[in-house]
Amino acid sequence: MAKGYWVSVYPAISDPERLTAYNKLAGPAVRAAGGRVLSRGGRVVAHEAGITQRVVLIEFDSCEQAVAAYESEAYQKALVALPDGFERDFRIIEGID
């Protein structure tokens, strides 16, 4: 079965304190749903139209598990903590089997 991944890119972080509040809720929700953080805010080398801002990559055992984690009550509560106007490019993708 192909793994599932959350890929988040943050073009702008206007309120780092609110991001911290989100992370305190999102981290346990992701772990409880079986997610494993592979990268969070480390070095980014961008090419073409890429951006160098924060990137987060989380792995799940399946794409279905990744979708269920996003839709979970715990993660939905974490989303409420994101600041108004927060800019994030978030995708759930299926890996190669």
What is the span of the domain harbouring residue 76? 4-94
CATH number at residue 31: 3.30.70.100
Amino acid at 5: Y
Angle at 56 between CA 71 and CA 63, to 5 degrees: 40
Sequential pLDDT tens for the chain (97 residues): 899 999 999 887 777 777 888 889 999 999 999 999 999 878 888 899 888 888 899 999 999 999 999 999 999 999 998 877 678 899 999 999 8
Query: How far is 48 from 95, CA to CA, in rounded Å?
Result: 23
DSSP alpha helix (H) spans, 1-97: 16-32, 63-71, 73-80
Q: Which strand (E) or helix (H) includes residue 40?
A: strand 36-40
Report the number of distinct structural domains present in the chain: 1
Query: How far is 6 from 63, CA to CA, in rounded Å?
Result: 9
Query: How far is 6 from 74, CA to CA, in rounded Å?
Result: 16
Query: How far is 28 from 10, CA to CA, in rounded Å?
Result: 20
Half-sphere exposure of 8 (CA within 13 A, CB side): 22
pLDDT digits (tens, 9 = 90+) for 17-39: 778 888 899 999 999 999 999 99
